[in-house]
Amino acid sequence: MLLNKKEKIKKRFINGEVLLINKPLNWTSFQVVKKIKSILYQKLAIKKIKIGHSGTLDPLAEGLLVICSGKMTKIISEIQNYKKSYEATITLGATTPSFDLETPFNKMYCFDHVNEKLINETKKKFIGEIYQKPPIFSALKIKGKRLYEYARINKHVEIKSRKVNIYKFEIIKVKLPNIDFKIKCSKGTYVRSIANDFGENLGSGAYLSKLKRTEIGKFKLTQSKKIGEFEKYIDDQL
């Protein structure tokens, strides 16, 4: 039996597709997955489909989200192990409990002594195999609960340092209090922790003010579609 265009595309997504989506600012990764499901239902009448993503981006982060459908969800754990690249900004002069702007400032710091030479010297400490503590406001589980659940009730929990690998750390621009940089890192690296620890190593305080994921292994942000573009892509094929 010959399938019409709609049925062919529908079958393709049910069998399994890898989608590269440019997650917008202030969206959760879950909201993006939900929106993709909604588009597939509205445009292709797919009522039930397995869809997942291969690595959460915080609401205040934007950039590449790899979403898999159907049988391709089986490779999600493999994609999660790929190296990841980001463009980001560290802002000096304050810290926050979440290490980004998700929570208000909890302490202010002086950074008059900080210059480009000190920044580039400090950067060397963050290349190679390093140990970092995940932020208390994170989805990492300890004793069956996510860390942010402890944070919300102000309950102390011991967070152990974890080994991660930083393959590349490049300072792009310094215009204090902002430090723009690019970083390539291993699975499990919290760029928010990099920002917090970087400020501490500068003898100041810092938080992550911008974060954009540009690569996950072979997948690149330049190959991705914004949600509206993905919707148009489906329309154009019908």
Per-residue burial over 196-227, b = 16 or more CB atoms within 10 Å of its CB, e = otherwise: bbbbebbebbbbbbbbbbbbbeebebeebeeb
**Secondary structure class of 173 (helix, strand, coil):** strand
**Residue 1 pLDDT:** 43
**Secondary structure class of 42 (helix, strand, coil):** helix
**Residue 156 pLDDT:** 72
**Residue 143 pLDDT:** 66
Identify the segments of the chain with pLDDT beneath 70: 1-3, 137-140, 142-145, 147-148, 150-153, 155
The amino acid at residue 16 is: G
Residues 63, 18 share a domain: yes
Residues 186, 212 share a domain: yes
Residues 117, 19 share a domain: no
The residues annotated as belonging to the active site are 58
Domains: count for the chain = 2
Report pTM.
Answer: 0.92
Beta strand extents in 75-205 (DSSP E only): 84-92, 94-95, 107-108, 128-132, 141-142, 145-146, 162-175, 178-185
Residues 132, 69 share a domain: no
DSSP state of 216: E
Contacts of residue 192, defined as CB under 8 A and 6 or more positions apart, other chains included, come to 58, 98, 99, 100, 135, 207, 208, 211
**Residue 139 pLDDT:** 66
Residues 143, 40 share a domain: no
**Residue 2 pLDDT:** 44
Residues 30, 90 share a domain: no
Residues 138, 211 share a domain: yes
**Residue 151 pLDDT:** 55
Distance between CA atoms of 95 and 206, rounded to whole angstroms?
5
